[in-house]
Chains A and B, each alone.
Chain A
């Protein structure tokens, strides 16, 4: 029962009607780690978080958080976790201070402890003067920061952040990233973060799990995952006889894989700098017109595409799934 891991799930599943939102997920998050749980809308991320946070009963499998079973010991789990849910869950009629104080009281903290925690948190998360104003007057970014503060009042061991930057402007997003990094690196807090932004997982997470339609399709460090694709990618947009172009490129030295989707040819190569010229020559010698030729590092989006056959932002297959 005393699991040394911060989060462990085994065969965790949950359905809504006939839709299996989480279809048997195994994962383990080490203490002190930032784990990024990446997937498109409706992939099952929020359902997973709600089960780990004791808000939702799993239909199968087991999970422990901070060493406690989420089904048999939910109260112990709650004492050790902080949670910021997808939409900042706040009460607009209270002021920020009132909300944080209430939060502190419900976690059994004394008045002086609450004072100390609010001082600590406000030095960490920039809420500024707004704390004494009604939450209804806050901007979206402010609400997210207050929500994060509310998740931290009781000094939790494991912090769950469900899409912490969805809907935020780029500046606010960078601020949240800094805060998350600080919580993890300087305060040793374990962070379980869900996101649909590849760069967010890439930027923050030590390890990433990729979920698609309720199934964990890959797991590893962002670098590991990207390495699956090859070191570099050459992307060519072409018009004309693409089959011939495909054959021409496949025969080029240094090319490890070529994939064609529509007019977009994705060419995995070991060394982009030395291979882009031969590839350009090969394309030039075939019956296609090259509209665009770019060299880039693989992203998690490429990993996702490779694993699932869909782009992260592709909405053709995800729309019909219930957003969980």
Chain B
């Protein structure tokens, strides 16, 4: 189907009323709407989302304080105990991945999405020829940028207290990207809630998910030291494998099997969270269906 015929049909009628030639020329100066393309759409949406981050520092600062706080406190309280318990154990290296996971888990632009839905701005964006998935993907790109940005100061803090990576600079990069990927797949949950409910309070409750993921695992002591039900839960908690993979990059070197398990754990959570998110997204953009 061509777009020329109908477009021509609705072109302004020749001078519907006497009007200055100049203004008619202004109207017909050839600027017409067209599709921008998927990548351009994602970049546009992401650009706006990234710009909004420094405008609401209150949504980012806690994400930096919490991991630093836990990192410092855990080292202060547990380092001696754990290192005495197991010779050659480096508790700081053990804790750095936990700090990263704390920093990146639950960070999302879902609150912005909810506000957009409430303000009607989501409708305004939906009225443009944007490819629908770009509305969400753009926000996720911004989230990824943010979680990577949040990881960097935490890693720097690790270096400051003496943590060194067996895998070198490339390992640091892999460490940040894997943590970033985890942060990204976790955003699926708040987005799903945001899209499903359009309710800011509900979105905040997604933070509750953070606790089982982040604490029912090997966050504080190695798996061997866990007992009973916690050991069982930790075995099924994907974050356990994520932490193993991140830790291996620091203390062991390139352990392919451990890394793959970590990637698989992230991918598995992503499969669940993005499925939920996509279903909610479909429901939202077809709200009228």
Q: Cβ of A105 and Cβ of B44 under 8 Å apart?
A: yes
Q: Closest Cβ of chain B: how far from A106's Cβ, in Å? A: 4
Q: Cβ of B119 and Cβ of A90 under 8 Å apart?
A: yes
Q: Cβ of B12 and Cβ of A75 under 8 Å apart?
A: no
Cβ-neighbour of B19 out of A4, A106, A186 (below 8 A): A186
Q: Cβ of A79 and Cβ of B124 under 8 Å apart?
A: no
Interface residue B104 (Cβ < 8 Å from any Cβ of A): no
Interface residue A235 (Cβ < 8 Å from any Cβ of B): no
Interface residue B125 (Cβ < 8 Å from any Cβ of A): yes
Interface residue A137 (Cβ < 8 Å from any Cβ of B): no
Q: Closest Cβ of chain A: how far from B52's Cβ, in Å? A: 5
Interface residue A252 (Cβ < 8 Å from any Cβ of B): no
A89-130 CB mask vs B (1 if < 8 Å, else 0) is: 111111000100011011111000100110010000000000
Q: Which residues of B contact A120 (CB under 8 A)?
A: 26
Q: Cβ of A108 and Cβ of B129 under 8 Å apart?
A: yes
Cβ-neighbour of B31 out of A51, A98, A113, A188 (below 8 A): A113
Interface residues of B in 15-47 (CB under 8 A from A): 15-17, 19-20, 23-24, 26-27, 29, 31-37, 40-41, 44, 47
Q: Which residues of B contact A56 (CB under 8 A)?
A: 287-288
Stretch in A151-159, A263-271, A282-290 touching the partner:
A151-159
Q: Cβ of A90 and Cβ of B27 under 8 Å apart?
A: no
Contact residues of B: prevailing secondary structure: loop
Q: Cβ of A188 and Cβ of B48 under 8 Å apart?
A: no
Interface residues of B in 112-160 (CB under 8 A from A): 115-116, 119-121, 123-130
Q: Cβ of B127 and Cβ of A80 under 8 Å apart?
A: no
Q: How many A-B residue pairs have CB under 8 A?
A: 163
Interface residue A192 (Cβ < 8 Å from any Cβ of B): no
State the CA gap A87–B121 with chains docked (Å): 10
Interface residue B286 (Cβ < 8 Å from any Cβ of A): yes
A175-207 CB mask vs B (1 if < 8 Å, else 0) is: 000000000111111100000000000000000
Q: Cβ of A85 and Cβ of B124 under 8 Å apart?
A: yes
Q: Which residues of B contact A32 (CB under 8 A)?
A: 12-13, 16
Cβ-neighbour of A108 out of B9, B13, B33, B125 (below 8 A): B33
Q: Cβ of B10 and Cβ of A6 under 8 Å apart?
A: yes
Q: Which residues of B contact A24 (CB under 8 A)?
A: none
Nearest chain A residue, comparing its CB with the CB of B126: A55
Interface residues of A in 44-62 (CB under 8 A from B): 50-51, 53-57
Q: Which residues of B contact A158 (CB under 8 A)?
A: 10
Q: Which residues of A contact B80 (CB under 8 A)?
A: none
Cβ-neighbour of B12 out of A106, A109, A189 (below 8 A): A189
Interface residue B6 (Cβ < 8 Å from any Cβ of A): yes
Q: Cβ of A93 and Cβ of B55 under 8 Å apart?
A: yes
Interface residue B81 (Cβ < 8 Å from any Cβ of A): no
Query: Contact residues of B with A, CB < 8 Å?
Result: 1, 3, 5-7, 9-13, 15-17, 19-20, 23-24, 26-27, 29, 31-37, 40-41, 44, 47-48, 51-52, 55-56, 115-116, 119-121, 123-130, 286-289
Q: Name the 8 nearest CB pairs between A and B, nearest first.
A: A188-B12, A67-B6, A89-B120, A56-B288, A154-B33, A32-B16, A108-B34, A106-B128
- What are 26 A-B contacts defined by CB distance under 8 Å? A2-B9, A55-B126, A55-B127, A57-B288, A67-B7, A75-B129, A79-B34, A79-B35, A85-B124, A87-B120, A93-B55, A94-B51, A98-B48, A106-B129, A107-B33, A107-B129, A108-B35, A108-B40, A109-B31, A155-B29, A186-B19, A186-B27, A187-B23, A188-B12, A188-B16, A190-B10
